[in-house]
Structure 1
Amino acid sequence: MTLVDFLLGLSFLPTVIRQRLLEIKKSQESQESANPTRESATSDESVQSPNSVDEGYIPSPGGPDSTLNTNSNSSVNGIMPEMERLGNDLPVTVLPVGEVAQSWQTLAQQYNFFQLEVHLKEGVDLAIRDRSGTSDPYVKFRIAGKTAYKSTIIYKNLNPKWDEKFTLPIDDINKPLDIFVLDRDRGFASDDPMGSVRIDLMSLEPECLNEKKLELKEASSVEFLGHILVDFIISPVKRPEDKESIRANTLSKRRKSENPSGSRKVKSQLWNGIVTITLLEGKNLIPMDDNGLSDPYVKFKLGSEKYKSKTEKGTLNPKWMEQFDVRLFEDQTNTLEISVWDKDVGSRDDIMGRSQIDISALNREETHHCDLELEDGAGTLSLLLTITGTSGTESISDLANFKHDPNTDRMLYKKYGILNSLKDLKDVGWLQVKVIKAQGLASADLGGKSDPFCVLELVNSRLQTQTLYKTLNPEWGKVFTFNAKDIHSILEVTVYDEDKHGSPEFLGKVEIPLLRVKNGERKYYALKDKKMRRRAKGAILLEMDFVFNSIKAAVRTVNPREEKYLEQDAKFKVSVLQYNLSRVTRLIGVILDTTKFINSCFQWESKARSTIAFASYLIIVWNFELYMVPVSILLLFGWKYVEVCITEKFTKAVEEDDYVESEDEEEAEKEEKKKRKEGATKSSFKEKLHTIEKVCQTIQNTLDDVACLGERVKNTFNYTVPWLSYLACIALLIIAIILYLIPLRLLLLAWGINKFTKKLRKPHAIPNNELMDFLSRIPSDNQLKHYQELRPENLRPDSPKKKR
C-alpha cells in the first residue's frame, strides 16, 4: 500500500484533499504504465537533491532557521517524487557544476556588478490558505534580507499567472535570492506563508536562460505546497564605453584599455539615473474623517522602488517639504505612480486620489515644477522632479560629448543682451558648471576608499553626477546647466559617499556666490565641513560660465527672493544664542558710540568739535532740500570706496583658524547626542523642556535677524558685493535727480496711488518692501565666512595629457 492509498482510507479527510489525492493516484498509475522505469530514475534524482540548489529550502518569514530533512526513509520525502510528477516537465538547461564554477570564477575576476533578469511566469497547485478553498497569492523576492521586488496579488486562484518581468541589481553574487509566496490577508491579520525557496545565484548558468520549476517548501510542514515557474538570466554589467572593446579585443587588451595605470578597477553604477522627487504640498484634498479633515500622506512607486512621505495630521492643504531619490533602471517602467492616502488608526488607510507621470517625456538634467490634478477632482499636488545622475557616454551631461560652439555663445550673449531686457523678466541668466574631478577625498568605507558622487544645488534646482566606486580621486566629467532666476543665488556643491543600506555620508561642501564666478576659469575649491567652518579633506575641480542681463537682475534684486523649499530652521544651541547675542551687542555698541558722539557735541566736551557741529547744523537746516538726503548717502558711499581701496592692500585674507567653531558649540553637540540616547525616560519633563527650547529658539532667531540686518547695512557701504553697492549708488543718484526735478507733492500722490491700486492691478502680487528685498541680497558676516575660499592642500599635479 502506498502513502496515497493510506491517506484515502482516512474517513475524516476533507473533500477537497480527497479529490486532490485521487488526482495524484490517477496520474501516478498512468505514468507507471507508460514508463515503468521512471520511478527508479525519479528516486535517484531525489537522492541528488542536496546539489540542486533551486529545489532548496529556506524558512518562511519569521520562522526559525532549519534545514531540509533528506532522509529517504521518511514518508514525507517519499511522497515528494510523486508530487514532482505533476505539471509539465520544463526543458531546463543545466551545466555541469565544474563548468558553472569555472565560468563564475572568470566573471568574478572581471566584473563587480551583475544584473538578474527575472520572468515570474505562474504558480501551479499552490496551497489553500482561505476558508473558501482558495488563496490570494503574491511573491516576494528578497536579497540580503531586503525586499527587492513584490509581485501583484492574484485573488482567489491556486494556479495564478503573473507573467511579470523585472531586473534586480546584484552587488554581491555570493548572497542567495530568497523567494517567498504569501497569501494576502485583509484586516489586522498578517499574510500567511505559502512556501519559500532559496536560489544560489552562482548555480545559474551566466548569460543564458535558466528555466526553473521551483518546488515550494515550508519549515516543519509535510504539506504539498505546489511550485512556481520562473526564468532567470544573470549577466555582468558592462559599462557602455567598454562594449566595443569587449567584442574586438582579448581579455588582456580590454583590461589594459580600461585601466592603463594598473590601479584597481572602478565599479560603474547599475542604474541609469536618479529621479529626485521634492514633494512640496497638497491643495484642496477631499475630507475623509468625520471632522471634515484628513491625515494625508503620499506614496510613490517607480518600478520596484517605493517611497512613502510623512503624515500631515488634520489638514486638507498639507505641506510636506520632503525629498526622495528614486533609482531609474533601463528596463523598468517609466511611469511614476503617485497615490494620496488618509492615515487611519485602527482600520485600513483610505485612498484619497491617484495620479501618474510619464518621466520619459521629461527633459533630463533639468528640474521640472509639476502641479498634478488628482483623479476625480480629489485635489492637487505640487512637486519638483529632476532626472539626473545619468551615466555613460551617451548622456547629454557627459563632458566627453561637450563641444564648445561659438554660435551658442553668440546666441547666449544676444539672449541676455540689453536689447532683450524687457523679455521674460524671470529668465535672468544662464549658468554652466563643469564638474571635472576631485582629489584627496575622505575615506568613508572600511577599505579606505569611498563611493563618491557630487550634488549641485541652485536654490530649488538639484542635479548630481553618477557614482564612482572605490576611489578617493573620482573623475566625473560632467557638465550641467541652470537657469538662474537671481544672480545673488548661491551654488552649493556637495560631495557624498553612497551608502547601499542607508542615507549618503557627507564628505565635503563648498558654497559659491554666482557673482564670484569667473567665466572659463578652471579652479580647485577646497571642501569644507557641514557647518562651512572647518576644512574637510579634498578639493573639487570646477569650471563655470555665467551670463546674465544686468537690467533684469536689478529688477529681480528689489523683489522677494526665491524661497528654498527644503531649507531647515536653525536648531537651538546655547553657543549659537551666545554668538548671536554678541553680534547684536556689537551692533548696539556702534549705535551707542554714535549717540555718545552726538551728545558730546551738545555738552561742549570739546569746544572746537561742538562749534563745528553747531555751524554745520545751522547751514544744513537753512539750505536743506529733500534731494540732499540721497546725495549725503552717496557721499558716504564715496568716502567708504576710498577707504576700501586704501585698506584692501593691507587687509589679511580670513583663514580657517580665524573662525573655527567654539568649544562650547562642540560641547552643546555632545549634550544633544546624550539627550537622544537617553530615550523615552521622563517624557513629561522633555515636553516642558521642548517648550522652553522653542522659546529660546525664537529668541535666538530674532537676535540673528537683527544682527544680520545691521551687518548687511554695514557690508553695503563696505562694497562687500560691489555689484550691489554700485546698484545702490545708481539708485540714489536717480532718486536725487527725481527729488530735485519733481515736487514732493506729486511724488507722494504717485506713491499713494501705486500702493492703493496695487492689489486691484495685481491680485496675486506678494506684498514686499523693496529696501528689505535689496538688503536680503547682501551677505551677513556669518554668510561671508561660509563663502570664504580656503587654499587647496596636497593636490597632485595633472599629467600633461590631461591638461587642456
Structure 2
Amino acid sequence: MDPHVTKNQQDDYKLKDTHPKLGERWPHGGMRGGGGWISSDRATSTYDLVEQMHYLYVRVVKAKDLPPNTVTGSCDPYVVVKLGNFKGKTQRFEKKTNPQWNEVFAFSKEKSHSSDLEVFVRDRELVGRDDIIGKVTFDMNEVPTRVPPDSPLAPQWYRLEHRKGETKVKGEIMLAVWLGTQADEAFPEAWHSDAASVEGEGIFSVRSKVYVSPKLWYLRVNVIEAHDVVSHDKSQHPQVSVKAQVGNQMLKTKLCPTRTTSPFWNEDLIFVAAEPFEEDLVLQVENHFSASKHELVGKKSLPLTIFEKRLDHRPVHSRWFNLEKFGFGALEGDKRHEHKFSTRIHLRACLEGAYHVLDESTMYVSDTRPTARQLWKHPIGILEVGILSAQGLQPMKKPKDGQGTTDAYCVAKYGQKWVRTRTILESFSPKWNEQYTWEVYDPCTVITLGVFDNCHLGGSEKSAAARDSRIGKVRIRLSTLETDRIYTHSYPLLVLQSSGLKKMGELQLAFRFTCLSLANIIYLYGHPLLPKMHYLHPFTVSQLDFLRYQAMNIVAVRLARAEPPLRKEVVEYMLDVDSHMWSMRRSKANFFRIVSLFSGVISTSKWLGEVCHWKNPATSILVHVLLFILICYPELILPTIFLYMFLIGLWNFRFRPKHPPHMDIKLSCAEAVHPDEMDEEFDTFPTSKLPDVVRMRYDRLRSVAGRIQTVVGDIATQGERFHALLGWRDPRASSLFIVFCLCAALALYVTPFKIVVLVAGLYLLRHPRFRSKMPSVSSNFFRRLPARADSML
C-alpha cells in the first residue's frame, strides 16, 4: 500500500451523513389479511433508531399422540419448518411420541417470497430417507401480526395432515405463527434463516446477546508484621518476606531489613477481585538464605468473603492469623504432611468498593461509578444506539469457491453492559438493525463499538482455536452530543496493519442521548469525575498499570465463559489493551498535538508584530487607544479579558462541530507512516528480531518511551481541554463557561480592582486548615472537558 494517502482517500476516511428510514409507524396488535394492514390506535414501537425488518416467526412447542414407526415400533421425531428455499430443523428426540421442543424459527421476509409455510413432523429412520409423519400448511396472507408490547401469541394445536394434503393423520402439533419485527422478544433466541448453513454448536455463536462485566473490587492487603518466625537453620535469625497471591496475581513485600523472628513491613499489596469471589488469598512467608535460595516458613489460605467491604475512608481493624507449616515428618514414612505451627502474621485487609477500577484497563472511560451499589447515584440520561448496517466490508476469510467471505458481527461496550449483534453470514453489506439502551450516569464518558469477523461457526476444535478478526472500531464521547438529537452517520472502519493504514468498510449508526435532568448534568460538571476514595487514597502509577492489566484479564476470562463466549481477542481490542505500548507513530502524533496547541500563541505573536510595524494603521491606532484606556483604568483589565473570551465563545458558536468526533488519520499520523515504523509497532513484545543483549536494551527503550509517550499525550490533553472551553465540542460545558465569563465580567465591572486582588491573594494564601483534599470546582469542570484523544487510532 502506498504510504501517502491521496485527497480522495482522505475524503473517503471522513464521517458521512446518512438518511436511513427510521421511526416508521408500526402498528401494535394490527392484523394483516388479504386486504393489507388493519391499523391500531396504540403507540408505535420503541425501535425508532433502526429500520424495521419483517420476520415470520414460527414457535414449535410440542406434539402429542405421534404414531410409532411400523418397522422399528418407536418414534424418533423432529420438526422441519420450510419457507421457500429456507429450512429450519428442531432437535431430534429418541423414542418419544409426546416430544417438547419449544424452539423458535425466524424467516426474513425480504429474502423469502413464498406464499406458503410448511411444517413437517418427521421420524428418523436408520436406513434410507426419514419418514414424514405429517405436516401443517399456513397461507402467508392469513398469518397475524404482532409487535411488542403486545402479549405473545398463544400457540394452538393443529391436526397433522398427510404429506400429500389429502387426509388427516394421527397426531397433533402445537404451533404459534406470526409476523413481527426485530423488536420481538423471540428475536434474540430464534433460529434465523440468515444463518441456515450453521449447524451444531456454531449456532450459538451467531445469536445476539447482552453481557454484563463482573463487579470488580480492589483487595487491599496491608502486611504489618509477623511473630515467632523460626528458620530450619538455628544458627542465624531468619530474613523473611511475604508473598501474596490471588488467582494469577502475585505480589511480594520487600525483605525485612533486619534478621529477626518478629519482622515488620507495614506494606500495602493491592489486587483486583471479581464477584463471585472464586479465588482465595494465599499468603506465604519465605526465609531467604541468599538471592537464589529460600525456604517456606508458613502458609495461609484465606477466602475473600471473610474480609469486610469498605465503602469510605474509615479505618479497617487488623487481625492475626496462624500460619500452616508444610514439611517432611516421620509419620507415614516420608510422605508430606501438614501440621499447625505457632508462626503468626498480622494483616489489615479489606475489599474496597468505593474506588473505580478505571474501566477495566482502558484510557477511554465509559463508567465512572464506584463498585459498591450503595454509592451509586440516579442516572442523568439515556443512551440509545441503533446498529444499522455495514457497507463495503473487506473479505476476511480465505477465498471460498474463488471468492473471500466475511461473517460480521458488531460489539458495543458502555459501562458494565456489553452487547453483541447477531452474525450475518457471507455478506459484505450486513444489515443488523438492532437497537440497545444504556443508562448514563456521567456524560463525560465514551461508548466503544467494534466490528469483527466470526471464525467460530463450524463448532469443531479447529474452529474453537481460531481468533475472531478485527474489522474496525468507533468511539463516541457522550458529552460531545446534543441532547435529544438523533445522529445518523456512517463511520469509516480504519485499522493499522503492518503494511499501513487500511479502510475495512463503514459502520452505519443511529444514536440519541436523552437528558433526564439538565440540572443534574450541570451539577456533575462541578464535582469529581471519579469516586472520593480515588483522591483520598490514590494509587501509584505502577500500581495502576498492574491493576489495569489484571482487571482486563479478569473481564476477558469471565466474558469468555458466557454462551456464546465474548472471546479474549474481542475484549482486548475493545479495551485498548495495547494502548500503552511504545509506538513511533503514536509518539509523533502526541508531539504534533502539542505543537498544534501553540499555533494560537504563534498567531498572536505574528499579529502583535504586524501591529508594531503598522501594517494595518487602523488596527494599530485602536490598540494604542486600548493601551491608554487600560493604563488609566487598570481595573478594566480583567473584565475586558473575560468579556473578550465571552465574545470569542459566541463567535465560535457559528463554527461549532456539526458531527461527533471520529477516527482522524491525520491526527493519528497514519496517513504517511514509514513501513519500518509500522514493522516496529507490530513487532512482538519482547521483540523477536534481535539478539538477547540488544533485545533487552530495545525493550527497555520501548518501555521508557511508552511512558514518555503517555506523558506527552497527557500534556496535549490538558491543552486541548483549554481549547474546548470555547470550542463548543461539549455544548453544555461551553455554555456554562461563557455564562460564567459574562457573570464574571459584570461582577468585576462593579467591584473595585483592589478588592478583587485582595480576595484572590487571601484565597491563594489561605491556611491548609481551610483547604480540602478534594479537587476544586474549577478543576472538576476542567477534567470533564473533552480532548482529541477520542479521535486517535
TM-score normalized by structure 2?
Answer: 0.49
Q: Which has the larger radius of gyration?
A: 1
Structure (1/2) with the larger strand percentage: 2
Higher helix share: 1
TM-score of the two chains, using structure 1 as the length reference: 0.48
